[in-house]
Amino acid sequence: MRTSHAVLAGGGGLIAAGLGAGVYGLVHSHSYVLRRRSLLLPGQARPLRILHISDAHTLARHTKRLRFIRDLAETSPDLVVLTGDMIAEPDAVAPVLAALDELLEVPGVFVFGSNDYVAPTFKNPLAYLGGPSNRGAKKGQPDRRPLPWRDMRAEFKARGWADLTNARAQMSVAGWDLEFVGVDDPHMHLDRFPDPVDGPAAGDFAGTARSAGAASTAISAGKTRPASPTGNSGKPATNPGDSVGKLGDAVVGEQPRMRIGVAHAPYQRVLNQMVADGCSLIFAGHTHGGQVCLPPHRALVSNCDLDPSLASGLFDWPRFPDSEEPIKGDGAAIAKEKAGGAWVQVSAGIGSATYMPLRTFCPPEAILLDVVPVAAQPAGVNSRALP
């Protein structure tokens, strides 16, 4: 009898623990956090504030999530980078556009993820432990209910954001000359790395740049196509021949410059292509930071070919023996004096999988990244996490 009581008590304890974990995961999935990070590099120029938004997986009923997105305009970014998976049903397009309304007045770039193109379906959560969820999937969009992503793209472009779907773009933002290269969703094998711009060598700036509120030019497969103008004419980015090197060389002369890579999913092949292309800073999402993690921020999966330890955070790529751990919370990193590498910002995302709306030890997040030129760097220090 005592044994039976002990078994029942033990079973009841496990059930209670499971229910408690489930409740915690549900609550945690709506505990939105704004991460504040800084990337310090040598030079003298105005700081560049970048807001990174990703993986909202929005349903029309997600009023708290939509309010969080809307309130991000209060951060006053110079540039918005959106890395996809913003919707999860057709009715979410209008609420998402309404929540982004003020941010669409800010210069921005975007790519889409698979859940912008097609509706989500149920997957066995344990299957992710076996590898990325695209195992065995055919190239292209899966055979699922399509979502009205074209409506969202049309509004983004009409408001002046640059579409980086297998394309390039140039902008002048907050006194910086910025060049972008982006790819379509690598998780669904839609990425086609765009050809270099005709004329100047890869890594050079040429042509027309977009000032805040002005026209932009996107380059795909070596050809130019104008994006939607918003009223003011652009101005030359910088002189041809001024190439982009390591991030530490980005602030040179009167007009600082930088090349930025943008992708939905941070597959290694894409990160390597962007580094080889001269990117100093790369933005991606998709991973949800592992979504269901062990403390503290210990992801079990990345849903791509990155090590789970890189499922979220700010880190250097490629990884070296002296590479520090990714900055998961608020923090600052100092650009190292080495070429052939980039800093990668992987967002854990604002939402969660539609059919698995739980997050543990990995709160939903948006990222505010300040690129800060400084006159001198502390000797012997590479990066540090802030409290």
* Mean pLDDT across 131-137: 54
How much is the pLDDT for 120?
Answer: 87
Query: What pLDDT sits at residue 232?
Result: 28
Largest CA distance in the chain: 86
- Measured between alpha carbons, how far is residue 58 from residues 24, 101, 143, 231, 269 in Å? 20, 16, 21, 31, 29
Task: State the pLDDT confidence band at 335, using cuts at 50, 70 and 90.
Answer: confident
**For 249-296, how does the pLDDT look when each residue is reduced to its tens digit (9 = 90+)?**
565 556 789 999 999 999 999 999 999 999 999 999 999 998 888 998
Lowest mean pLDDT of 11-15, 196-200, 269-273, name the range: 11-15
Please compute the mean of the pLDDT values over residues 234-262 and round it to a whole number: 57
* Whether 375 contacts 258, CB under 8 Å: no
pLDDT for residue 98: 98
Least confident segment among 3-7, 19-23, 281-285: 19-23
Mean pLDDT of 219-235: 31
In this prediction, residue 81 carries a pLDDT of 98
- What pLDDT digit, counting tens, does each position of 24-81 carry? 444 455 789 999 999 998 888 899 999 999 999 999 999 999 999 999 999 999 999 9
pLDDT tens profile 202-224: 333 322 233 333 333 443 333 33
- Separation between Cα atoms, residue 315 and residue 283, nearest integer Å: 11
> From CA 31, how far away is CA 348, in angstroms rounded?
13
Please report the sign of the dihedral spanned by the C-alpha atoms of residue 257, residue 263, residue 266, residue 271.
negative
For residue 235 the two structure tokens come to 């101005």
pLDDT, tens only, 137-167: 555 555 678 999 999 999 999 999 999 999 9
Half-sphere exposure of 129 (CA within 13 A, CB side): 5
Q: For all residues of the chain together, what is the average pLDDT? A: 78
Domain annotation for the chain: domains and CATH numbers = 31-124+145-197+254-374 (3.60.21)
The phi and psi torsions of 282 (rounded to 5 degrees) equal -130, 135
Three-state SS string over the chain comes to CHHHHHHHHHHHHHHHHHHHHHHHHHHHCCCCEEEEEEEEEECCCCCEEEEEECCCCECCCCHHHHHHHHHHHHHCCCEEEECCCCECCHHHHHHHHHHCCCHHHCCEEECCCHHHHECCCCCCHHHHHHCCCCCCCCCCCCCCCECCHHHHHHHHHHCCCEECCCEEEEEEECCEEEEEEECCCHHHCCCCCCCCCCCCCCCECCCEECCCCECCEEEECCEEEECCCCCECCEECCCCCCECCCHHHCCCCCCCEEEEEECCCCCHHHHHHHHHCCCCEEEECCCHHHCEEECCCEECCCCCCCCHHHCCEEEEECCCCCCCCCECCCEEEECCCCCCCEEEEECCCCCCCCCCCCCECCCCEEEEEEEEEECCCCCCCCEEECC
pLDDT in tens, 74-110: 999 999 999 999 999 999 999 999 999 999 999 999 9
Q: What are the tens digits of pLDDT across the range 376-387?
A: 555 544 454 433
Q: With contact defined as beta carbons under 8 Å apart, do 293 and 361 qualify?
A: yes
The pLDDT, as a whole number, for residue 340 is 81
The pTM of this model reads 0.79
Tell me, what's the pLDDT at 41?
A: 87
